[in-house]
């Protein structure tokens, strides 16, 4: 029997299709399998052995690194996967099982690095290719980044020095920087840009809430200093605002909605109220923020000032 080129092409096409279906089935089964993947990731610190969720998340990341390019190329075949993937990310990154009090700072930082690794995969393999992914899925991912960008602690929770270092600050920073990267730095307006603008508006509002609450609590505390986690959170929020304003000023003018600038300006009085803070870390971060407002301060138009047009 002679080999025909057409037969070879058909065989190659069949093999590629078969491989794609195998990969599709693998990813779908992984995400749909409650017992094998979803539960260990959602339980996280609730797992009997810490190695369980670590093995599962590392396996999932390896599979997604290979599988997401295929899913993007054949999006219609993966319609049921995206919502499962978003929910899996959320249940893992914001697990309802808190870390154990006995967990050392070193182990906590190791675990935080894994959380950051998930965000990096979101940045490189999802947000960089949003045009080939469902809009609802992208919105959900942006909501996760927004949620993780400021990792708040209860205001009435006094925590010791060791525990105060367990705030996932690096994770919050990674979420925020990723959120900014896909907000206003793009060269053109797009549907994804609109999605992230909504997220940044929400983020600005959360920053304002944290700043106002800090000022109120500091006033009520009198000479008693606020807990270390509150100071660390406040400094982190101020740094986030600095990064945001700096990025907004670098973005193309048409990519920044007027409402965003209005919210940035409305934040200024609350920042001024923080100038009485006795915390060196807060004061340093506050100084950097106020310097960013320099370019937003402009002299009044002379004609307007004199009451004429």
At CA 262, angle to CA 191 and CA 194, rounded to 5? 5
Give the pLDDT of residue 159: 42
pLDDT digits (tens, 9 = 90+) for 146-193: 888 765 444 444 344 444 455 687 888 788 778 777 765 444 445 445
End-to-end CA gap in the chain: 92
Q: What is the mean pLDDT of residues 217-236?
A: 85
Query: Which residue would you say has higher pLDDT here, 291 or 181?
Result: 291
Q: What is the mean pLDDT of residues 220-227?
A: 85
- For residues 170 and 225, give the distance between their C-alpha atoms in angstroms, rounded to a whole number: 24
- Kindly report the average pLDDT of the chain as a whole number: 77
Kindly state the tokens that stand for 250: 């670098």
pLDDT digits (tens, 9 = 90+) for 75-100: 777 777 888 889 999 999 999 888 88
- Sequence-separated (6 or more) residues with CB below 8 Å from residue 146: 175, 179, 199, 202, 203, 206
* Residue at token pair 């106002």: 212
Task: Grade residue 194 by pLDDT with cuts at 50, 70 and 90.
Answer: low
Instruction: Tell me if 110 sits within 8 A of 58, measured CB to CB.
Output: no
Query: Which residue would you say has higher pLDDT here, 307 or 127?
Result: 127
Give the pLDDT of residue 24: 63
Q: Classify each residue of 99-114 as buried b or exposed e, where b means 16 or more C-beta atoms within 10 Å of its C-beta.
A: beeebeeeebeebbeb
Instruction: Tell me if 215 sits within 8 A of 274, measured CB to CB.
Output: yes
> Which DSSP letter does residue 229 get?
H
* Cα 6 to chain centroid, rounded: 49
Selection from 300, 299, 301, 277 nearest residue 289 by Cα: 277
Task: Grade residue 38 by pLDDT with cuts at 50, 70 and 90.
Answer: confident
- For residues 25 and 249, give the distance between their C-alpha atoms in angstroms, rounded to a whole number: 46
pTM of the model: 0.68
Out of 6-10, 132-136, 261-265, 282-286, least confident range? 6-10
Give the pLDDT of residue 221: 86
Give the pLDDT of residue 170: 85
Query: Residue ranges per domain, the chain?
Result: 18-103
- For residues 233 and 239, give the distance between their C-alpha atoms in angstroms, rounded to a whole number: 10
- For residues 289 and 20, give the distance between their C-alpha atoms in angstroms, rounded to a whole number: 50
Helix (H) or strand (E) holding 225: none
């Amino acid at each position: 029997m002679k080999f025909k080129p057409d037969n070879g092409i058909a065989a190659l096409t069949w093999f590629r299709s078969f491989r794609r279906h195998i990969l599709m089935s693998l990813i779908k089964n992984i995400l749909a399998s409650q017992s094998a993947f979803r539960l260990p990731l959602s339980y996280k610190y609730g797992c009997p052995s810490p190695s369980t969720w670590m093995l599962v998340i590392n396996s999932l990341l390896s599979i997604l690194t290979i599988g997401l390019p295929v899913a993007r190329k054949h999006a219609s075949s993966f319609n049921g996967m995206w919502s499962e993937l978003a929910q899996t990310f959320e249940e893992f990154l914001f697990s309802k099982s808190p870390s154990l009090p006995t967990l050392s700072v070193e182990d906590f930082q190791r675990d935080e690095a894994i959380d950051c690794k998930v965000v990096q995969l979101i940045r490189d393999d999802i947000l960089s290719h949003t045009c080939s992914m469902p809009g609802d899925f992208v919105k959900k991912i942006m909501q996760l980044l927004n949620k993780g960008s400021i990792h708040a602690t209860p205001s009435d929770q006094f925590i010791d020095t060791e525990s105060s270092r367990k705030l996932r600050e690096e994770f919050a920073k990674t979420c925020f920087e990723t959120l900014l990267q896909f907000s206003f730095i793009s060269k053109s307006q797009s549907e994804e840009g609109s999605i992230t603008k909504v997220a940044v508006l929400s983020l600005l509002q959360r920053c304002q809430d944290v700043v106002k609450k800090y000022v109120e609590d500091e006033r009520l505390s009198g000479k008693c200093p606020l807990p270390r986690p509150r100071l660390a959170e406040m400094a982190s929020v101020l740094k986030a605002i600095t990064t945001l304003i700096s990025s907004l000023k670098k973005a193309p003018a048409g990519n920044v909605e007027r409402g965003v600038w209005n919210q940035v300006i409305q934040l200024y009085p609350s920042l001024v109220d923080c100038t009485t803070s006795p915390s060196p870390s807060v004061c340093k971060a506050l100084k950097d923020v106020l310097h960013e407002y320099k370019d937003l301060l402009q002299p009044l138009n002379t004609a307007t000032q004199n009451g004429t047009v």
